[in-house]
Chain A
Amino acid sequence: MATQKKAVALISGGLDSLLAAKVMLEQGVHVEGINFYTGFCVEGHTHAIRKKDKLKPKRNNALWSAETLGIKLHIIDIIEEYKDVLINPKHGYGANMNPCLDCKIFMVGKAKEWAIENGFDFIITGEVIGQRPMSQRKDTMPVISAESGADDLLLRPLCAQNLPETKPEREGWVNRDELYDFSGRTRKPQMALAEKFGFDDYAQPAGGCCFLTDKAYSVKLTDLWASRGQRDYEIDDIMLLKVGRHIRPRPTFKLIIAREEGENNFLQGYKKQFTTLRTMSHKGPLTLLDGSATEEELKLAAQIVARFSQGREANSVDVEVTKNGVSQNFSVKPLAADEVLEQWRV
């Protein structure tokens, strides 16, 4: 009896990777999932920070996919290693700060390393030719295979019939005739296959699975780098880019102003790391000051924060500014709406 072959599947939590893994399971392959956490994944519960979203289900779709498939899922923290992918992408960025091609090369390469360490035979992804403008094109898919080092151990079950034979097909580990020939941006073949497999509750993320494809997020990241004079980040930086209003009234500092209670609670966790501003005489948002500000600039910051408090129409609002555990109080007149300049908003 032939030994059961083992495939590691890149599981994003979306439909395509779910289907690709299912196709392999149907062929009798032992499949385990791998999911990489870059810090920019929408899959995280970062949208759950906002209170209004707490009513929505908070399932992690990669875990849901694995449970639906009945396979194990290994979630790998690649936050540190991913910095080089984002900061120095060999193949450049997509429409925003998304280094999609380098990202996929990196992840497939990591999956190959994992496969070797854990005795797996090949790697599968849910890629479909023409599905994505950067990483899933006929000309870039061979680049991923080659530059990741996976070469012909990388099988894309959903579009394999449009691609040269891989080792799993040549060796008879999988039956090429039972793989698929999907191509293009249409989702109809995937939806039909999902129906065939009885999947009806799969994730359909509107903006992809990565914050780096989001224009507003990319603008904030670019601003962060420009303000620091270097392209680098820590995990807290990229988390905070997802939260609050970001207002940069001076090049040396920006304000991160909570928009509602959930964000207020989240920002509380950063009070020790940042200068904070709180309105004392009126209800208002917790605000972090990222960077450094002179006394005069602190007063300006207080006026901006007062603008976003319930005292916005008052003649004077008391604002407490705390830095390194030491507080000082400002009584300021809130800025008028048109005094919070549009170009300050990041």
Chain B
Amino acid sequence: MIELDARRLLCPMPVIKTQNIIKTMAVGDKVRVSCTDPGVMQDIPAWCRINGHHLIEAVETDNEFLLTIEVGKR
């Protein structure tokens, strides 16, 4: 599992960071993205749906949002 720190970034930067790291990963690999902008709870799932990746989990903890994604086929 790769950890991606996108805290303090405002959307769409967390989406861009996620997109860019996924480009370097293989199908089936997983990444967990840590964010503070609540917009990611809408944007990253939408980006995953559009681009064929699987959102495994999206949880909110103390003012942070953790999203786990499995890389899909491109």
Inter-subunit contact B37/A48 (CB<8 Å): yes
Whether, in the assembled complex, B2 has its beta carbon less than 8 Å from a beta carbon of chain A, the answer is no
Nearest Cβ distance between residue B50 and chain A, in whole angstroms? 5
CA distance A60 to B42 in the complex (A): 8
Task: State the total of A-B contacts with C-beta under 8 angstroms.
Answer: 68
CB distance from B14 to the nearest CB of A (A): 10
CA distance A58 to B43 in the complex (A): 8
Cβ of A80 under 8 Å from chain B: no
| Chain B min CB distance to A44 (Å) | 5
The answer to whether A45 and B46 have CB atoms under 8 Å apart is: no
- Decide if B16 touches A75 in the complex (CB within 8 Å): yes
Knowing A48-B39, A58-B38, the reply to whether A239 touches B10 (Cβ < 8 A) is yes
A37, B16: Cβ atoms under 8 Å? yes
8 interchain pairs, CB-CB under 8 A: A37-B13, A48-B37, A48-B39, A54-B38, A58-B11, A63-B15, A71-B50, A73-B47
Task: Report if A155 contacts B (CB, 8 A).
Answer: no
Chain A, interface size category, equals 20 to 34
User: Which of these, A37, A43, A63, contacts B50 with CB under 8 Å?
Assistant: A63
Interface check A256, CB cutoff 8 A: no
Known: A45-B37, A63-B43. A73 touches B13 (CB 8 A): no
**Residue from A43, A48, A71 within 8 A of B12 (CB atoms):** A43
From A63, A71, A76, A77, contact of B46 by CB (8 A): A63
Please give, as numbers and ranges, the residues of chain B lying within 8 Å of A132 by CB-CB distance. Answer: none
- A60 to B50: give the CA distance in the assembly, Å: 13
Q: In whole angstroms, what is the CA distance A75 to B46 when docked? A: 13
In the complex, which residues 58-93 of chain A have their Cβ closer than 8 Å to any Cβ of chain B?
58-60, 62-64, 66-67, 71-77
B residues touching A (Cβ–Cβ < 8 Å)? 8, 10-13, 15-16, 19, 36-39, 42-43, 46-47, 49-52
User: Is A269 interfacial (CB 8 A cutoff)?
Assistant: yes
Chain B nearest CB: distance from A59 CB in Å? 6
Contact partner, A44, options B8, B12, B19, B38, Cβ 8 Å: B12
Q: A58-B38, A59-B42, A60-B39 are in contact. Are A44 and B50 (CB under 8 A)?
A: no
Q: Which residues of A contact B50 (CB under 8 A)?
A: 63, 66-67, 71-73
Q: State the CA gap A66–B13 with chains docked (Å).
A: 17
- For A48, the chain B residues whose CB sits under 8 A away are 37-39
In Å, the complex CA distance between A72 and B49 comes to 9
Distance A45 CA – B13 CA, assembled complex (angstroms)? 10
- Contact string against B for A residues 260-296, beta-carbon threshold 8 Å, 1 for contact and 0 otherwise: 0000000001000000000000000000000000000
- Name the residue on B nearest A235 (C-beta): B13
Contact A77 B38 (CB under 8 A): no
A35 to B49, CA, bound (A): 17
A37 touches B42 (CB 8 A): no
Q: Which of B10, B16, B38, B49 has the most CB of A within 10 A?
A: B10
